A and B are shown apart, each in its own frame.
Chain A
């Protein structure tokens, strides 16, 4: 009698089980990787939006900041606002995803052997936005002091 050759049902079954276990693991790893990537991406984006304010205020200088305290016309102070609703630069210069974020900017005078304006910035994802599921940190905070550079 000739010996039967081929895959037995058992073999295929075991193979499928192993494959399923592996695929499940890969799926979980992949999900974690994706989550990490997206978290990093949005954190980077949020970080850029925070630093944007710092760089802008530092660039404009102390005198401007003092005046801005009295007349905040570019972005509101002390209230959450959508980044692209009150953009510092032209809205087209931002990534589309920036629209998912909102910013809170506070400025106050500080003094100690020199005068400065303390700028606090908080960034968070807008309520109900899908990015919320990607960004692990609820809020990002940034601070700087734009300092008077007395020439006299």
Chain B
């Protein structure tokens, strides 16, 4: 029997609907492979992206670091360069501060420290960059809307770097632009004096080799100018080698040559080193006839005098130093000096004529002095008029007079001439003195008869270099002299007097908002690196105000001076004590100004101080107090000199021509750039 054929069981597929299953495995495998491939490619893509991101991040981080070094280096270079007021960068700042526009064109900066270490920093990479700076914001008015001097003000500096990091083949790895802002202050230390006709600049005392703000009062306080004529104490050094416009002025405040009551004088002396303003000393003569002689000296009218002819009177005019310090002067000169120095009301008391406390080295011609002397600074000298009867040609009745007779006549009429109003004769009632006074009254009549009228009295003449003294004419000066210097208040309004005090008065170096630092204790000068006491260095930049203490500068170990580095001013209202010299490290670059607004400047050294010393205050008592002969290179400005307190060995002031200029190009600005970053951003561009 045949069993029926059973269908072969082939598993589940056999349960599938009928159809051709050939090649299904291929599709299944393909699907699986595709799915896995997609996942794998996603993963691969992510990991590639991760690697790329890491690479991208590393390069950007590297570029960020490099641009930071570039900007730091540029800033450091800028700080060093602008320490020198003559550096192109400093001038560029001043120039851009002067312009009316708010923003300014970029200027190139360099990053020398970065460049010097470029290879070490790049580690084989290539960096291309451009670096520039510009002033994009400036404030040229005070908070009270008062204009600063042109070029002064506050501003913001932008340092901008565009950099790209590349492979040696030139492929850009990262590229960015980075900017950083710094605030700065620009303060003028030396300004063009020609621009100050109508404006205020806080630096004007630096135009003066010597400015004595209250000079006229100081002079008038001393009897017969004794305060400024108390023996030689101060020499203003020769300025003839300096161009006329750059010479340091000498001005005694409120003195005015056009106002006779406001003139001051300095005694001339016989010392060769104080011969400044000393006129030529011609001896001139004036002769009067016998008739005038007899009118002048009635005692000659003896019997038989009408038979005498050939007598004449000779007036001899001599200009002598007001004060003698050496030698034995001729008797007439000695007598004249004594008579004319009598103290009014005390005819026996003589106030000795002392040499001027200030003298001027160098040329002695008026043209030279006109270039720097301002106000009513005159020289006092002794004008001696001597009368002598000349009987050498005298004859009586046609015969020669015997020699004894001539001698007798000549001795009877030989005297120094004075005004009858001279204190010595006016106050002394002794018969002898009154007799002489009568003689001088007759002399007065004789003087009136001369044509032109001649000054026949010996006198202390106080008006040289006015011409009448030189020309022996006592007529009133009619010439109009140069007006004294002008001074301005804080708001540019002219001051009526240099002695005006208060906030709207005389206010040099009132750089309130332009101060690099304020409210310092003296010790802060050290903390802030301004005064390196140990190494004896003054690092100056801008105007620094030490408002709370007296500042003392002492010599460092092994040196007699402190080195001045940079240009700037230290204001110390409570004053300074300078116990050592100050020497500029680079005379072309460095400039030091020490200013006290309340105290004095005490000088305890005779070493040279290459700094300008200014002491002005609202009490008009600011002064320099040297305990040793001082030697200053710079400008000196005080309220009063108090020369009598100076050492007897003369001190010296040599004017630094750098302090005075008639050109914008030679103005000195000091730039204080804040090391703090005001704003910063960095923008990476798509590579």
The answer to whether B65 and A29 have CB atoms under 8 Å apart is no
User: How long is the Cα–Cα vector from A145 to B81 in the complex, in angstroms?
Assistant: 20
Name which of A5-13, A68-76, A80-88, A90-98 contacts chain B. A5-13
User: How long is the Cα–Cα vector from A38 to B656 in the complex, in angstroms?
Assistant: 71
Query: Which of under 10, 10 to 19, 20 to 34, or 35 or more describes the interface residues of A?
Result: 35 or more
> Given A113-B76, A144-B65, A152-B539, is A11 in contact with B47 using a C-beta cutoff of 8 Å?
no
Chain B 39-72 interface mask (CB, 8 Å, partner A; 1/0): 0110110111011011101100110010011001
B530 within 8 A of A: yes
B177 within 8 A of A: no
With beta carbons under 8 angstroms apart, the residue of B51, B73, B80, B117 that contacts A36 is B51
A102 within 8 A of B: no
Residues of B within 8 A of A12 (CB): 25
Residues of A within 8 A of B20 (CB): 5
Total count of chain B residues near the partner, CB < 8 A: 68
The answer to whether B26 and A11 have CB atoms under 8 Å apart is yes
A127 within 8 A of B: no
CB distance from A30 to the nearest CB of B (A): 6
User: How long is the Cα–Cα vector from A116 to B111 in the complex, in angstroms?
Assistant: 12
> Given A33-B47, A113-B112, A145-B113, is A47 in contact with B120 using a C-beta cutoff of 8 Å?
no
With beta carbons under 8 angstroms apart, the residue of B22, B24, B79, B541 that contacts A114 is B79
The answer to whether A40 and B113 have CB atoms under 8 Å apart is no
Please name the residue on chain A nearest to B75 by beta carbon. A149
The answer to whether A47 and B48 have CB atoms under 8 Å apart is no
A60 within 8 A of B: no
User: How long is the Cα–Cα vector from A103 to B61 in the complex, in angstroms?
Assistant: 19
The answer to whether A22 and B37 have CB atoms under 8 Å apart is yes
User: How long is the Cα–Cα vector from A30 to B41 in the complex, in angstroms?
Assistant: 9
B14 within 8 A of A: yes
> Given A40-B51, A149-B76, is A144 in contact with B121 using a C-beta cutoff of 8 Å?
yes
User: How long is the Cα–Cα vector from A150 to B73 in the complex, in angstroms?
Assistant: 11
User: How long is the Cα–Cα vector from A141 to B89 in the complex, in angstroms?
Assistant: 36
B123 within 8 A of A: yes
Please name the residue on chain B nearest to A144 by beta carbon. B65
Residues of A within 8 A of B46 (CB): 33, 37
The answer to whether A33 and B44 have CB atoms under 8 Å apart is yes
Chain B 1-31 interface mask (CB, 8 Å, partner A; 1/0): 0000001001101101011111111101110
> Given A43-B58, A145-B121, A149-B75, is A36 in contact with B47 using a C-beta cutoff of 8 Å?
yes
Within 8 A of B (CB), among A16-71: 18-19, 22-23, 26, 29-30, 32-34, 36-37, 39-41, 43-44, 47, 51, 54, 58
Chain A 112-152 interface mask (CB, 8 Å, partner B; 1/0): 11111010100000000000000000000111110111111
Chain B 74-90 interface mask (CB, 8 Å, partner A; 1/0): 01110111010000000
Please name the residue on chain A nearest to B71 by beta carbon. A147
Residues of A within 8 A of B18 (CB): 5
CB distance from A97 to the nearest CB of B (A): 14
The answer to whether A152 and B14 have CB atoms under 8 Å apart is no
Chain B 121-156 interface mask (CB, 8 Å, partner A; 1/0): 101000000000000000000000000000000000
B528 within 8 A of A: yes
Please name the residue on chain B nearest to A26 by beta carbon. B40
Residues of B within 8 A of A111 (CB): 113
The answer to whether B33 and A18 have CB atoms under 8 Å apart is yes
A78 within 8 A of B: no
> Given A110-B113, A113-B81, A143-B120, is A30 in contact with B43 using a C-beta cutoff of 8 Å?
yes
CB distance from B527 to the nearest CB of A (A): 11
Residues of B within 8 A of A29 (CB): 40-41, 44
The answer to whether B36 and A149 have CB atoms under 8 Å apart is no
> Given A11-B22, A40-B50, A120-B120, is A149 in contact with B112 using a C-beta cutoff of 8 Å?
no
Residues of A within 8 A of B68 (CB): 58, 144
> Given A118-B117, A149-B675, is A15 in contact with B28 using a C-beta cutoff of 8 Å?
yes
Residues of A within 8 A of B58 (CB): 43-44, 47
Residues of B within 8 A of A115 (CB): 76, 113
Please name the residue on chain A nearest to B58 by beta carbon. A47
The answer to whether A6 and B13 have CB atoms under 8 Å apart is yes
Please name the residue on chain A nearest to B673 by beta carbon. A151
Residues of A within 8 A of B51 (CB): 36-37, 39-40
29 contacts between A and B (CB under 8 A): A5-B14, A6-B10, A6-B21, A11-B25, A11-B26, A18-B30, A19-B32, A26-B36, A26-B37, A30-B40, A33-B44, A33-B47, A37-B46, A58-B68, A112-B112, A112-B115, A114-B112, A115-B113, A142-B65, A143-B120, A143-B123, A145-B73, A145-B114, A145-B117, A147-B69, A149-B675, A151-B79, A151-B541, A152-B539
